[in-house]
Amino acid sequence: MKKWKYLSMTATLSAALFLAACGDDTENTDAGAETEEGTDAGTEEAALSGEVIGDGSSTVAPITEGLVEEYSAAQPDVRVSVGVSGTGGGFEKFINGETDFSNASRDIKDEEIAELEAAGIEYTGLELAYDGLSVVVNPENTWAENLTLEQLKAIWVEDGTTKKWSDIDPSWPDEEIVFYSPGADSGTFDYFNEVVLEEEELVNSATLSEDDNVLVQGVRGDKNAIGFFGYAYYIANEDSLKPVSINGVEPSGETIASGDYTPLSRSLYVYVNNEAVKTDDAVYDFMKFTLENAGEMSELVGYVPLNDDEYQAGLDLLEGLR
């Protein structure tokens, strides 16, 4: 990206993104108001107008919302709205034809593909960044600092009992575990369910929320709490949360990029409506802007960027839709 509007305020931008990143279906980020900087930027390329609508993953939201803010400087007459309904909720709107793009923290499901086909909607999935699903505990938790994948499953799977830390390791406290999990519409929930729980039921006593900040606050406020969400939300709150190593590997930019943080490393996506890209210049231009700048923005907000060849492959796919 040629020049970040808030480059000298990185910490402020990150904090603002995370506070705004999650919410219910009524919350969204709109960008369209002209700014002084936007007037200058708009002279560099053809001015566009119109509306672009997206929804989906709260994990991907920090990337997209940051890009929306930057895009408003380049194209102040294009209004980009991004809701945060979770990956599943976003796909529902995408299938219904309500949105031009849908953010996702997992691959699209077979049933979602079938529903899109039934609706006559052709789509293309584009990778934006890499994430490491982060398991976190309260800083006062001095025992669960490293878990095997088997222990992680034993903690989170529903087995009809009231879970205590001592059930996992007899040397740990005889205290009930308090659970905070993304909601069932979340791609993070789906991914955890697949790779950790192996499609078994999540513990019934968990507090579920599509708002990752609710999860952060819950874990922060209880010594016996455990939760999980995207890596960027941990980074934004690392002073008040403790990451748990899985099979001896702690989530970090390095371990996520190298693949060492397996199986909790994953790709983050945006799915675009092919017809919208083909026929609407504003949709095409915003998605092109997204791919051209997702690397820098993802790194800025705490995720791991793809390599240049991967972003170019995405741009080639996008161009092919025109």
d(CA 131, CA 236): 14
Rounded to 10 degrees, the C-alpha dihedral 185/191/194/195 comes to: -160
Q: Do 254 and 276 lie in a common domain? A: no
- Residues 269 and 63: their CA atoms lie apart, in Å, by 11
Residue 177 domain boundaries: 132-265
Task: Please report whether residue 55 resides in a domain.
Answer: yes
Residue 186's Cβ-side half-sphere holds a number of Cα atoms within 13 Å equal to 26
Three-class SS of residue 59? coil
Q: Using the Cα atoms of residue 265, residue 190, residue 89 and residue 229 in order, give the sign of their dihedral.
A: negative
Residues 144 and 69 in one domain: no
Q: What is the C-alpha to C-alpha distance for residues 314 and 194, in angstroms, rounded to an integer?
A: 26
Give me the pLDDT at residue 8, please. 36
What per-residue confidence (pLDDT) applies to 46?
75
The CATH number assigned to the domain holding 157 equals: 3.40.190.10
Q: Note whether 120 and 142 are same-domain residues.
A: no
Q: Are residues 226 and 288 in the same domain?
A: no
181 and 234 assigned to the same domain: yes
Residues 6+ apart with CB under 8 A from 136: 219, 226, 227, 228, 229, 234, 241, 242, 243, 244
* Residue 97, phi-psi category: left (phi > 0), alpha (psi -120 to 50), beta (remainder): left
Task: Say what the pLDDT of residue 36 is.
Answer: 42
What number of other Cβ atoms are within 10 A of residue 78's Cβ?
23
Mean pLDDT by 10 residues, the chain (322 residues): 46 41 45 45 69 96 96 96 95 98 96 98 98 97 97 97 97 98 94 95 96 95 97 94 97 93 96 98 98 97 95 98 95
